[in-house]
Structure 1
Amino acid sequence: MEHNGKVLLFKGESQYDVLRFFTDELDRAFRALRIPTVVIDLLEPDALSRLQRELQESRFLFALGFNGVGQELRIQGESLYDMIRLPFVAFYVDHPIHHDSRLRYAFRYQVVSFVDQDLVDFANAHYPGKFVVFIPHGGSADPDVRDNPVPIHKRSVPILFAGSFQDPDAFLQSVNAPEGALRQIKSIAEIMLSGDHVNIRKATVTFLQTLGMGEEDLTPDLFPIMRLAELYFRFECRKRLILSLSNLPVTVCGNGWEQLKGAKKPLNSLPAKSFAETLRLAGDAKIFLSIAPFFRQGGHERVFSAMLSGAVAAADRSGYLDRILSPGIHYIGYRSTDPLGDLLAAVLEDPDKLQEIASEGRKQAEANHTWTHRAVAILGAVKEFLHRL
């Protein structure tokens, strides 16, 4: 695909401005590749008139929106992208079950990407006929931090976790669902909690088998139950891990942590911050913790963002991370059965080792896991899509 055109990027609503920040990252990445861009903010009142003007005046290579934002634009009932033969890349950062309606919206010039290979497989099984690819998360860092990272021994936050929390049982009680559905939600989540290699699809199939059913019975009717089970699983994982570390100097940043009961000592809790503010905080952290066991064949952006921020990433091991990173060299990789508290306590006593891991991780992320690298992967996916048309 020759780069004699622009890339059209869409912005929409996003909690903590995360997806809007990612869009800005891709904007800078494509420009670094000498590909001009146009960013349309769909929250602006003149967004559609500006889009119309840009489409009339410019030639575009493709359009892109995180989690599919911007894909449903139509002209006289026909997809805008089919009408003008412009590929649209829907870059999803969550499981398909959280975006069912958008994934059911089909048009010919549609490219779909996920940040985990398991999610690609799920999408191919439940949304057949789409062009679906695996493109991992990219890492981000505050520009000043990235250019001049503070040495580990001068950082003031020993362990940082950024993310919201809700007590899992309180979360279930808040769900307006029949008692039978609540039991299903908890049963599926408990199957996921039983092992490091059990994703939401496998857990749901295992649950169905206890009822004398099989994988063919995993239909979209179950997606609402699966969504809630995955959320319960996330909160329970965060609860268990943070409690296991609560005798260490952990700082949590996000909403809801006042609900956590049973900590060995009071947590240092900060209110939720924008994504940009969180990245600045990461620049003062020695260890930046990622709790994302729902990515079994992918990785959370926190892993690469920690590295680019000069911190040590501590993250759930996954098939993908095991292929691209070496635990103890590029990051601290852990499984649910590992004594993570002991591992972190020991490494905090060895600042030279921490600095060594942080430096190696930063080199690896700069060489392979920035949004510029993801921009190149997106260009490759669009080229392959057009070749297959």
Structure 2
Amino acid sequence: MKQIIFLKGQSQYGSLRLHIDQAAEAAVALGYKPVVLDLTDEGVKTGFWGMFGGDNALILTQNIGGDLRFEGKSMAEVAGCPHCVMFVDHPAAQQPRVAAATKDQILTFLDGSHIKWVETMMPGKAGALALVPPGGNVKAPPPVDATVDEFMDRRDIPMLFTGTWHDHKGKRWAQHNGTPVGRLLDATFDIAMAHNMMPVEGALEAAMISIYGGVDPQVYKSLLTLSFHLSAQIHSTRRWDALIALAKAGAPVHLYGKGWEKHLYRFKSFTYGGEGTFEETLENLKRTRIVLNTNTNFVAGAHERVFAAQMAGAAVLSDVSSWYQTHFTDGSDIALFEWVSTNTVAVKAEELLTSPEKMHAIAAAGRTKTEAENSWKNRLQEILKIAEGIKVGA
């Protein structure tokens, strides 16, 4: 039986570790033997390079491992199979790991604009680049809510949001204040914020044209290294704006995540449940009617939270992305809101919360769609198909 080797490392809230566990379960369903190497285990770390024997079909890691070498050989060469690194951050935040890519590696990303970033900054390194969001995580799927009454009775959390508080006031490029670079980054931020789905790379081009009348390729590439800071600033600002809008509307949101304690006075209609782990989140999803997703500024991509929520039978309310618009239908299997529109998060939330029938219909359709198309089994099949075109040691 062919093996798929999975690497697990450290993870905030435990999410990436659970991703690997769920992907390993999917490997079994596809007829492969999963071998999970936990890098938090001292025994694994000590004997690591001796654990790649067997008939291997694939190595799968998230963010980590692509830069590891044994006597000059990549993990793919040692194992004799392609290595897929699934990046779950903007590649600008993982530059050394992306730069270490080899032709026997597949790099996957959460957003199409991330692929364009890699093609611009580090072309030709990996064997393949692909847009493959993580699959939906679910443990012991809840019963299907066959009726509106079942949906409402089983789910006592009206609306759920999970995520860390991030400072939205202090600019991440403050050291450039008052300089040409600072003015350009300020303009990039403003342009991106004025659009629903503009990646920071496109906003940077627009800012350069607006200020300088054109795009200098070298300056553009040098500033692309700051893409993550711009994207994170946009995300933290919009996350805050969305939650403040819901608080002002009196929405009954249950909030989990690090760092919110000192800000709770602003969210009087919210119920704060503490930090929460990913395992706790998966259980809470089964009790939730609406899950709020802010898409980490993945304007051309997807977040795993959406799929986990749908598999747990909840309706999803998310900001728009071109990926969601392509793969879902707003108002049918997902509810989407826009940032620059009267179609705001508070308006959409109110529409759903006051219509149990609509909540139930969106939840049911979303669950059906994602169980068929967005499981870890689906994702592993996609990656294995790409791996067929990768030659190791060529």
TM-score, normalised via structure 1 length: 0.90
Alignment of 1:330-369 (within 5 A): 330-336=333-339, 337=341, 338-369=343-374
CA shift, 1:351, in A, is: 1.2
Q: Which residue of 1 aligns with 2:274?
A: 271
CA shift, 1:258, in A, is: 3.8
Letter in 2 for 1:123: V
Q: 3-state SS of the aligned residue for 2:390?
A: helix
Structure 1 stretch displaced more, 121-130 or 25-34: 121-130
Q: Which residue of 2 aligns with 1:7?
A: 4
Report the RMSD for the aligned CA atoms in angstroms: 2.4
CA shift, 1:298, in A, is: 1.4
Letter in 2 for 1:152: F
Alignment of 1:170-181 (within 5 A): 171-172=170-171, 177-179=175-177, 180=179
Q: 3-state SS of the aligned residue for 2:107?
A: strand
Q: 3-state SS of the aligned residue for 1:276?
A: helix
Q: Which residue of 2 aligns with 1:29?
A: 26
CA shift, 1:176, in A, is: 7.1
Alignment of 1:101-180 (within 5 A): 101-129=96-124, 130=126, 131-143=128-140, 146-148=141-143, 151-154=150-153, 155-169=155-169, 171-172=170-171, 177-179=175-177, 180=179
Question: Does structure 1 residue 18 correspond to structure 2 residue 41?
Answer: no
> Taking structure 1 as reference, are residues 117 and 387 closer, same or farther at Cα in structure 2, changes over 3 Å only?
farther
CA shift, 1:219, in A, is: 5.0
CA shift, 1:318, in A, is: 1.7
1:308 & 1:113 partners in 2: Cα distance? Answer: 23
> Taking structure 1 as reference, are residues 204 and 388 closer, same or farther at Cα in structure 2, changes over 3 Å only?
farther
Letter in 2 for 1:227: F
Per-residue deviation, residues 265-304 of structure 1 (Å, max 9, x unmatched): 3532222211111111111111001011611221111111
Alignment of 1:225-304 (within 5 A): 225-246=226-247, 247-260=250-263, 263=266, 265-292=268-295, 294-304=297-307
TM-score, normalised via structure 2 length: 0.89
Per-residue deviation, residues 24-59 of structure 1 (Å, max 9, x unmatched): 111001111110011111121121454444324x12
> Taking structure 1 as reference, are residues 365 and 80 closer, same or farther at Cα in structure 2, changes over 3 Å only?
closer
Q: Which residue of 1 aligns with 2:378?
A: 373
Q: Which residue of 2 aligns with 1:59?
A: 55
1:203 & 1:260 partners in 2: Cα distance? Answer: 31
Letter in 2 for 1:200: V
Number of residue pairs matched by the alignment: 380
Q: Which residue of 1 aligns with 2:209?
A: 209
> Taking structure 1 as reference, are residues 30 and 252 closer, same or farther at Cα in structure 2, changes over 3 Å only?
same
Q: Kindly indicate whether the alpha-carbon contact (under 8 Å) linking 1:117 and 1:297 is maintained by their aligned counterparts in 2.
A: yes
1:183 & 1:294 partners in 2: Cα distance? Answer: 21
Letter in 1 for 2:67: E
Structure 2: gaps spanning 5 or more residues: none
CA shift, 1:7, in A, is: 0.6
Q: Kindly indicate whether the alpha-carbon contact (under 8 Å) linking 1:91 and 1:114 is maintained by their aligned counterparts in 2.
A: yes
Q: Kindly indicate whether the alpha-carbon contact (under 8 Å) linking 1:293 and 1:316 is maintained by their aligned counterparts in 2.
A: no
Among all aligned residue pairs of Structure 1 and Structure 2, give the percentage whose two residues are the same amino acid: 23
2:27 & 2:326 partners in 1: Cα distance? Answer: 27
Structure 1: gaps spanning 5 or more residues: none
CA shift, 1:310, in A, is: 0.6
Q: Which residue of 2 aligns with 1:314?
A: 317
> Taking structure 1 as reference, are residues 258 and 206 closer, same or farther at Cα in structure 2, changes over 3 Å only?
farther
CA shift, 1:78, in A, is: 3.3
Per-residue deviation, residues 229-258 of structure 1 (Å, max 9, x unmatched): 221111110111111111211122112224
Structure 1 stretch displaced more, 236-245 or 103-112: 103-112
Q: 3-state SS of the aligned residue for 1:46?
A: helix
Q: After the TM superposition, which segments of 4 or more aligned residues of structure 1 sit over 6 Å from their partners?
A: none
Question: Does structure 1 residue 44 correspond to structure 2 residue 41?
Answer: yes
Letter in 1 for 2:232: L
